[in-house]
Amino acid sequence: MYKSVPKDKTVYVYCDDGFRMSLAYQQLTHLGYQDVRLYNGGWSQWGNWLDLPTVTGDKPFAGDFEL
């Protein structure tokens, strides 16, 4: 499942309320990912702030939002 996620990059995980992102964190760190971070609050918090950006597509972090 995580084969396409590079191990040498920072990985941010999130979900709606926190349960699934904690499972993803455990899985990724167990697989050897060194820099895994959680978005505290999850999508339910982010989605309620109407002035925060949301992007979609093949390259979601392009332009102003590129990491």
- Examine residue 23 and state whether it is found in any structural domain, yes or no: yes
Distance CA(25)–CA(31), nearest Å, equals 10
**Residue 49 annotated to the active site:** no
- Examine residue 4 and state whether it is found in any structural domain, yes or no: no
User: Structural domain of residue 17, as residue ranges?
Assistant: 11-54
What residues have CB less than 8 Å from 23, skipping those under 6 apart? none
- Give pLDDT tens digits for 5-30: 999 999 988 887 778 888 999 999 99
- Examine residue 16 and state whether it is found in any structural domain, yes or no: yes
pTM greater than the 0.95 cutoff: no
- Examine residue 65 and state whether it is found in any structural domain, yes or no: no
- Examine residue 30 and state whether it is found in any structural domain, yes or no: yes
- Examine residue 21 and state whether it is found in any structural domain, yes or no: yes
- Examine residue 19 and state whether it is found in any structural domain, yes or no: yes
| Candidates 15, 27, 43, 45; catalytic one | 15
Domain count across the chain: 1
- Examine residue 43 and state whether it is found in any structural domain, yes or no: yes
